[in-house]
Amino acid sequence: MPMELRPLGKTGLKITPIGLGCWQFSQGRGFIGKVWSTLDAATIDAVVKAALDGGVNWFDTAESYGYGKSEAALAGALTRLGKKPGDVIVATKWFPLLRPASSIITTLPDRLGFLDPFSIDLLQIHAPGSLSSVEKQAMALAKLLKEKKVRAVGVSNFSAVGMRKFHKVLTGEGFMLASNQVRYSLIQRKIETNGILDTARELGITIIAYSPLAQGVLTGRFHDDPTLALKVSFGRRMMSGITRAGLKKTEPLVRYLQETGRKYSAAGVAASATQVALNWLVNFNGDTVVAIPGASKAKQATEAAHCLDFTLRPEEIKEIEALSRK
Ligand SMILES: NC(=O)c1ccc[n+]([C@@H]2O[C@H](COP(=O)([O-])OP(=O)(O)OC[C@H]3O[C@@H](n4cnc5c(N)ncnc54)[C@H](OP(=O)(O)O)[C@@H]3O)[C@@H](O)[C@H]2O)c1
């Protein structure tokens, strides 16, 4: 079933509720890139192909995902799969740590070099931490919009207050803040209470949910085989509660996601815990939330792209809600 497109903020761009997260393409380079194991080009091509075949129309990468390795791997895969600039939407991020806002502009040629021949549809500030004020960062983004060097701009890991500051400067320059990319999943729901989701709804900003599967926890694989927890990086175990205590806490929810998936599968629509978790995430808040699950295997990307092939029943949503709140 093809996914229906959703607006990316008020930018006029239309995206599928599920994009593909490309952190996994970092090829082990750099501190951030080491969280995932290294994928070869054939695997990356297969993952990107599976996402495209499943109807996904956008991809999220970043400078810090292997200092250009992920951007280049994505561009290479898209090119080998016959995609041309404009066929898909490409989002990337500038890394702000200990850098002034001017580096948003001076590093743009590097981003475009790695993404060649693709251009940047959405340029995001990866996180707070720049040496410059939010105002200066927003003005640098506005300059790139004015010069049509990027089509839309967003932030990531910013608070509700930060979103408002960016929004104010950008609207003053005649533009919009398209998105805030934040951690959001059935077991990480802080944005529902810290003002981020409310601000997004009020200002028409899209929430891009990262780690939507809690880095694999919500797939059930670590609950089914806890020894797998020891095979993933320490950083990932700590970030996502892939520990004995963490898995015990999330077990009732994950078992229910698996059981719900099995019910749909028995009725003829293949569904898994992964798909139930993603389906809930991109539907629970109307059009405001989209998700970018990462994948290191083609079948994971296929599964994610087909998470909307079924409609959750109200009683299932209620039960997921209750177990998730616990
Ligand atoms: N802006 C930020 O600060 C920020 C932070 C984190 C992530 N992100 C973005 O968000 C994207 C997604 O987040 P994430 O990668 O942290 O977490 P995620 O999407 O929750 O988890 C992805 C991992 O879950 C496992 N998985 C996925 N589908 C599966 C399936 N069907 N069955 C079993 N396991 C499955 C895979 O692990 P294995 O590879 O071990 O098989 C995969 O690499 C990233 O790629 C990145 O683009 C952004």
CA of 133 to the centre of ligand 1 (A): 31
Smallest CA-to-CA distance from 215 within 200, 237, 195 is with 237
Answer yes or no: pTM beyond 0.85: yes
The reply to whether ligand 1 has any atom less than 6 angstroms from the CB of 24 is yes
The reply to whether ligand 1 has any atom less than 6 angstroms from the CB of 211 is yes
Residue 259: pLDDT over 80: yes
CA distances from residue 97 to 129, 177, 207 in whole angstroms, order as listed: 5, 21, 22
The reply to whether ligand 1 has any atom less than 6 angstroms from the CB of 17 is no
| Residues 285-300: tens digit of each pLDDT | 999 999 999 999 999 9
Residue 1: pLDDT over 80: no
Give, using CA atoms, the residue closest to atom 4 of ligand 1: 210
What token pair was written down for 162? 């930060």
Catalytic residue IDs: 65
Smallest CA-to-CA distance from 150 within 13, 25, 55 is with 13
Smallest CA-to-CA distance from 19 within 293, 264, 229 is with 293
**Domains, the chain, ranges and CATH?**
6-216+274-312 (3.20.20.100)
| Residues 232-257: tens digit of each pLDDT | 988 899 888 899 999 999 999 999 99
What is the Cα–Cα distance from 276 to 262, expressed in whole angstroms?
10
CA of 273 to the centre of ligand 1 (A): 15
Atom in ligand 1 nearest the alpha carbon of residue 232: 40
* Across 198-205, average pLDDT: 98
* Across 175-194, average pLDDT: 98
The reply to whether ligand 1 has any atom less than 6 angstroms from the CB of 275 is no
Give, using CA atoms, the residue closest to atom 39 of ligand 1: 296
Q: What is the residue-averaged pLDDT of the chain?
A: 96
What is the Cα–Cα distance from 125 to 253, expressed in whole angstroms?
33
pLDDT of residue 33: 83
Report DSSP letters for 156-193, one per residue: ES--HHHHHHHHHHHHHTT--EEEEEEE-BTTB-GGGT
The reply to whether ligand 1 has any atom less than 6 angstroms from the CB of 114 is no
